[in-house]
């Protein structure tokens, strides 16, 4: 059988930052699943664009080598013709929504195939049913949760029935259950419907059970060395200086658009802790962090050290926080008498040394998030840090770096609270809290909470078999 | 290649679902709005009379509150123009100009409060506007409400890192104009990125396909014909009456 997708030494360089993709050759037959793995910034998204023809049709950097899709050379075939053969689901589903409603989102791609209206109606109904989107058919896509948007993005592509499906980090915004469901669907798609599936993904553990999965590793295949976290002079990390503060949250209630998001939430957390909060998409994790940072109107009391907590919030979307011409300027922006030892420590600890003079907006999503974290830390928030989904776009090595920085902060007497879908990150915290629609359903050391099957079932989530559990003494491993 | 407009989430103009005009063909509503706009050439007395007639139409269409809301949003512009015209020219001109602007805002409200971006696109295509431009315009229309949300999110994010402090007092405001960079740059970047992401998403689903065939077709109903005949009659009367 001739390959449906073939690349021969395809390589690409973006004109603005000289980054891109090193030469890649691959060959894929119908029904074959392929995982493209690699470290942050190794070119996975670029490869996805090369395979579907967006490069070179929409990008004008330097392309070499060739890609053939269903026998057609992508560089010389009109994009609409290629789009009929390969569907691409992008990393951020919210940004790719074009329709006013869920139905219209699906219809858009079907209209472009030139199908008669009755066939469009039929295929739309099938897609809604298949992806469980019928109850949401009339809703604007932007009002859906991240998991629902991901399903819709996939439904809109799969209704077009392309023989090749390419997904760029499809699991990054999904909670554990939604990620497992998506992987099961992709497995079926490849095995039973003869679709070639290419998944570019950091969270490769989730794909380990896919039948006949091929793996292509970009880069040198080795994770970058994280090195040791450099030492910082005592007192270099801004902290409460030996004082112990307790964050007290009582009766926290938040309504958004008339809908209760958090109801009567109570908890306490002390300085010196790294707390991970895990919950399903849309359960209110971000709203909780916004409330703790003083950005969200709420009912109830939030105090730390007798007043409102001074906790720096690092947003999920780093683009909101970055605007300077270089990483250095960004981190030092409006910091009175900056502590340059802390600055150097942050650059080294977060793996940003080599980007110091680069514009932050040209960095990868994961790198930008680390710059945003450094900018907030340089401000020296008195009580600690709040990190909203810090693992997005980070490979394993950089997740490790993040957690080491978080623990260093905790040792300096600060409180670090992070929300995450990534259980490897959660397992590395000091304390794990599971947030459900009715409040926290479990709270304790990660080793104990990860083994609390009842709590996970109540949440509608599960702990994957491959997760390395921390030992009760806090160390990783069996 | 064409770059698409900003992505949409909410509409700054609320869609009035219970209006009888909500079910009307967008072409009819466009004709109605254009006809109402024609009345700006009338003299003060005739303009006032026409506005009463137009208000009755809005009342029937259950659009009077929405039109009033749109006019209220323009209150400062209207007030400044009224004062300047009165001081520079005459009170009569000030009243005429103000009424004309109110009428235009009402005409705008009639169309956009009862028409979805998709319907706007179909109407534009019927008017022979190339699909790619009609689609871009409809996406831009769909996106207006998102700008407010994004601006708020950026302000909060900058506040969280200490790069922007909410201004208080006019002197402080002047000194903080420079701070706008910290808001404007992310706003431009996010808008550009969103536009690019949508462009990619559209092309990845065959946006430029010559085979495109619309799912929905525009159809004129009885209400449309009645409204259209009425509109033509009023437009003719306006041209003769002025």
Instruction: Tell me the pLDDT tens digit for each residue of B1-19.
Output: 444 433 333 445 678 888 9
**Residues in a beta bridge with A387:** A314, A418
Least confident interval from A14-23, A267-276, B200-209: A14-23
B-chain CB neighbours of A57 within 8 Å are: 1, 203
Contact B213 A111 (CB under 8 A): yes
Quote the tokens at residue A219: 């880069």
**Nearest residue to A41 (alpha-carbon basis) of A221, A170, A219, A167:** A219
CB proximity A80 to B under 8 Å: yes
Q: What is the dihedral of CA A232, A238, A244, A246, to 10 degrees?
A: -120
Q: From the CA of A117, how many Å to the nearest CA of chain B?
A: 5
A-chain CB neighbours of B182 within 8 Å are: 323, 333
Question: Is 80 exceeded by the pLDDT of residue A191?
Answer: yes
DSSP A452: -
Contact B161 A87 (CB under 8 A): no
Q: What is the pLDDT of residue A231?
A: 60
Contact A109 B206 (CB under 8 A): yes
Name the residue facing B205 among A49, A143, A156 (closest C-beta).
A156
CB proximity A117 to B under 8 Å: yes
Q: What is the mean pLDDT of residues A266-289?
A: 91
Higher pLDDT among residues A140 and B159, named by residue? A140
Q: What is the pLDDT of residue B169?
A: 64
Q: What is the mean pLDDT of residues A34-63?
A: 90
Euclidean distance between CA atoms A450 and A473, whole angstroms: 14
Q: What is the mean pLDDT of residues B20-30?
A: 92
Contact B209 A83 (CB under 8 A): yes
Higher pLDDT among residues A224 and A173, named by residue? A173
B-chain CB neighbours of A112 within 8 Å are: 205-207, 209, 211-212
Quote the tokens at residue A215: 């793996």
Q: From the CA of A478, how many Å to the nearest CA of chain B?
A: 39
Q: What is the mean pLDDT of residues A253-267?
A: 88
Sign of CA pseudo-dihedral B90, B92, B95, B100: negative
Question: Is 60 exceeded by the pLDDT of residue A271?
Answer: yes
List, in sequence order, the alpha helices (H) in A131-235.
146-158, 176-193
Least confident interval from A57-61, A384-388, B144-148: B144-148
Q: From the CA of B61, how many Å to the nearest CA of chain A?
A: 24
B-chain CB neighbours of A87 within 8 Å are: 204-205
Euclidean distance between CA atoms A247 and A266, whole angstroms: 11
Peptide bond into B111 cis (omega under 30): no
Q: Which chain B residues in 134-173 lie under 8 Å from chain A, judged by CB atoms?
A: 139, 142, 146, 153-154, 156-163
List, in sequence order, the alpha helices (H) in A33-142.
44-52, 54-57, 79-83, 102-111, 117-130
Question: Is 50 exceeded by the pLDDT of residue A41?
Answer: yes
Euclidean distance between CA atoms A121 and A253, whole angstroms: 43
pLDDT band at A338 (very low <50, low <70, confident <90, very high): confident
Name the residue facing A114 among B194, B198, B212 (closest C-beta).
B212
Q: From the CA of B203, how many Å to the nearest CA of chain A?
A: 7
pLDDT band at B164 (very low <50, low <70, confident <90, very high): low
Q: Which chain B residues in 107-126 lie under 8 Å from chain A, judged by CB atoms?
A: 116-118
- Residue A145's contacts (CB-CB under 8 Å, 6 or more residues apart) are A281, A282
Q: What is the pLDDT of residue A162?
A: 95
Residue B167, by phi and psi: left (phi above 0), alpha (psi -120 to 50) or beta? beta
Question: Is 90 exceeded by the pLDDT of residue A387?
Answer: yes
Q: What is the mean pLDDT of residues A307-325?
A: 86
What is the full DSSP assignment across B50-69?
HHHHHHHHHHHTT-HHHHHH
Name the residue facing A112 among B156, B181, B206 (closest C-beta).
B206
B-chain CB neighbours of A100 within 8 Å are: 8, 116-118, 142
Q: What is the mean pLDDT of residues B40-44?
A: 84
Q: Which chain B residues in 197-236 lie under 8 Å from chain A, judged by CB atoms?
A: 197-216
Structural contact between residues A291 and A252, judged by C-beta atoms closer than 8 angstroms = yes
DSSP A476: B
Question: Is 60 exceeded by the pLDDT of residue A227?
Answer: no
Q: What is the mean pLDDT of residues A211-225?
A: 72
**Residues in a beta bridge with A12:** A21, A63
Q: What is the pLDDT of residue B2?
A: 44
Question: Is 60 exceeded by the pLDDT of residue A36?
Answer: yes
Question: Is 60 exceeded by the pLDDT of residue A223?
Answer: no
At A115-164, the pLDDT tens digits run 999 999 999 999 999 888 999 999 888 888 777 888 899 999 999 999 99
Q: What is the pLDDT of residue A440?
A: 94
Q: What is the pLDDT of residue A164?
A: 96
At B165-201, the pLDDT tens digits run 665 666 566 556 666 777 788 888 888 888 888 999 9
Q: What is the pLDDT of residue B6?
A: 37
Reported as half-sphere exposure (CB side, CA atoms, 13 A), residue A198 has a value of 32
What is the full DSSP assignment across A378-416?
HT--SSEEEEESTTTT--HHHHHHHHHHHHHHHHTT-EE
Sign of CA pseudo-dihedral A157, A161, A162, A167: positive
DSSP A225: P
Share of chain A above pLDDT 70, in %: 93
Structural contact between residues A199 and A214, judged by C-beta atoms closer than 8 angstroms = no
Q: From the CA of B74, how many Å to the nearest CA of chain A?
A: 26
Query: Which residue do the tokens 């708020």 mark?
Result: B152
Q: Which chain B residues in 22-81 lie under 8 Å from chain A, judged by CB atoms?
A: none
Euclidean distance between CA atoms A141 and A152, whole angstroms: 8
Structural contact between residues B220 and B25, judged by C-beta atoms closer than 8 angstroms = yes
Q: Which chain A residues in 339-378 lie under 8 Å from chain B, judged by CB atoms?
A: 361, 372, 375-376
Question: Is 90 exceeded by the pLDDT of residue A104?
Answer: yes
Quote the tokens at residue B20: 């009888």
Q: Which chain A residues in 151-180 lie under 8 Å from chain B, judged by CB atoms?
A: 156-157, 160
pLDDT band at A415 (very low <50, low <70, confident <90, very high): very high
Name the residue facing A295 among B7, B142, B160 (closest C-beta).
B160
Structural contact between residues A254 and A262, judged by C-beta atoms closer than 8 angstroms = yes
- Average pLDDT score, chain A: 87
- Residue B3's contacts (CB-CB under 8 Å, 6 or more residues apart) are B136, B195, B196, B199
Q: From the CA of A314, how many Å to the nearest CA of chain B?
A: 8
**Nearest residue to A394 (alpha-carbon basis) of A385, A386, A403:** A403
At B65-107, the pLDDT tens digits run 988 988 888 889 999 999 999 998 888 889 999 999 999 988 8
By CA distance, what is A320's nearest residue in B? B154
Higher pLDDT among residues B48 and A386, named by residue? A386
Question: Is 60 exceeded by the pLDDT of residue A478?
Answer: no
Q: What is the pLDDT of residue B25?
A: 93
């Amino acid at each position: 059988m001739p390959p449906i997708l073939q690349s021969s030494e395809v390589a690409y360089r973006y004109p603005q930052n000289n980054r891109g993709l090193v030469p890649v050759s691959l060959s894929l037959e119908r029904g074959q699943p392929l995982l493209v793995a690699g470290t942050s910034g190794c070119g996975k998204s670029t490869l996805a664009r090369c395979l579907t023809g967006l490069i070179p049709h929409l990008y004008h950097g330097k392309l070499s080598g060739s890609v053939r899709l269903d026998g057609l050379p992508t560089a010389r075939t009109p994009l609409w013709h290629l789009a009929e053969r390969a569907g691409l689901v992008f990393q951020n589903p919210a940004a790719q929504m074009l329709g006013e409603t869920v139905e219209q989102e699906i219809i858009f791609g079907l209209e472009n195939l030139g199908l008669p209206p009755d066939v469009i109606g039929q295929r739309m109904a099938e897609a809604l049913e298949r992806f469980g989107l019928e109850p949401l058919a009339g809703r604007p896509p932007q009002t859906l949760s991240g998991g629902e948007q991901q399903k819709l993005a996939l439904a809109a592509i799969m209704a077009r029935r392309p023989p090749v499906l390419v997904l760029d980090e499809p699991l990054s915004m999904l909670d554990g259950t939604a990620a497992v469901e998506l992987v099961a669907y992709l497995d079926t798609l490849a095995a039973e419907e003869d679709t070639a599936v290419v998944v570019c993904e950091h969270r490769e553990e989730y794909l380990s059970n896919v039948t006949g999965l091929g793996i292509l590793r970009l880069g040198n295949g080795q994770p970058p060395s994280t090195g040791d976290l450099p030492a910082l002079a005592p007192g270099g990390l801004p902290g409460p200086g030996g004082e112990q503060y307790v964050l007290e949250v009582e009766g926290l209630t938040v309504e958004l658009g008339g809908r209760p998001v958090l109801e009567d939430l109570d908890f306490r957390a002390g300085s010196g802790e790294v707390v991970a909060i895990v919950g399903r998409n849309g359960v209110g994790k971000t709203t909780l962090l916004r409330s703790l940072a003083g950005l969200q109107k709420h009912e109830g009391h939030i105090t730390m050290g007798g007043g409102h907590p001074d906790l720096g919030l690092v947003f999920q979307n780093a683009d909101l926080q970055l605007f300077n011409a270089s990483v250095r300027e960004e981190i030092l922006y409006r910091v009175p008498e900056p502590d340059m030892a802390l600055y150097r420590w942050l650059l080294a600890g977060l793996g940003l040394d080599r980007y110091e003079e680069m514009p932050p907006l040209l960095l990868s999503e994961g790198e930008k998030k680390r710059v945003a974290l450094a900018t907030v830390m340089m401000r020296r928030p008195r009580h600690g840090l709040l990190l909203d989904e810090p693992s997005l776009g980070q490979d394993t090595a950089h997740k490790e770096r993040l957690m080491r920085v978080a623990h260093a902060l905790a040792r300096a007497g600060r409180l670090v609270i992070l929300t995450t879908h990534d259980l490897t990150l959660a397992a590395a915290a000091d304390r794990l809290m599971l947030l459900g629609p009715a409040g926290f359903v479990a709270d304790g050391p990660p080793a104990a909470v990860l083994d609390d099957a009842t709590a996970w079932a109540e949440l509608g989530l599960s702990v994957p078999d491959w997760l390395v559990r921390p030992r009760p003494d806090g160390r990783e491993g069996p | 290649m064409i770059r698409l407009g900003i992505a949409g989430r909410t509409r700054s103009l609320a869609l009035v679902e219970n209006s009888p005009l909500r079910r009307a063909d967008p072409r009819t509503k466009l004709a109605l709005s254009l006809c109402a706009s024609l009345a700006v050439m009338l003299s003060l007395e005739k303009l006032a009379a026409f506005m009463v007639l137009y208000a009755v139409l809005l009342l029937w269409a259950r659009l009077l509150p929405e039109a009033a809301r749109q006019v209220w949003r323009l209150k400062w512009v209207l007030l400044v123009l009224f004062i300047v015209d009165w001081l520079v020219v005459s009170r009569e001109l000030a009243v005429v100009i103000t009424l004309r602007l109110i009428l235009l805002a009402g005409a705008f409200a009639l169309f956009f409060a009862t028409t979805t971006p998709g319907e706007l696109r179909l109407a534009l295509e019927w008017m022979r506007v190339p699909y790619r431009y009609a689609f871009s315009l409809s996406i831009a229309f769909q996106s207006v409400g998102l700008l407010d949300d994004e601006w708020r999110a950026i302000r909060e994010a900058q506040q969280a890192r200490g790069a922007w402090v909410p201004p208080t007092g006019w002197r402080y405001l002047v000194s903080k104009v420079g701070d706008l960079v910290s808001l404007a740059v992310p706003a431009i970047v996010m808008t550009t990125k969103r536009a690019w992401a949508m462009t990619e998403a559209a092309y990845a689903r065959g946006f430029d396909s010559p085979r495109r065939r619309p799912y929905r077709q525009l159809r004129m109903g009885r209400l449309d014909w009645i409204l259209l005949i009425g509109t033509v009659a009023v437009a003719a009367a306006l041209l003769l009456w002025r």
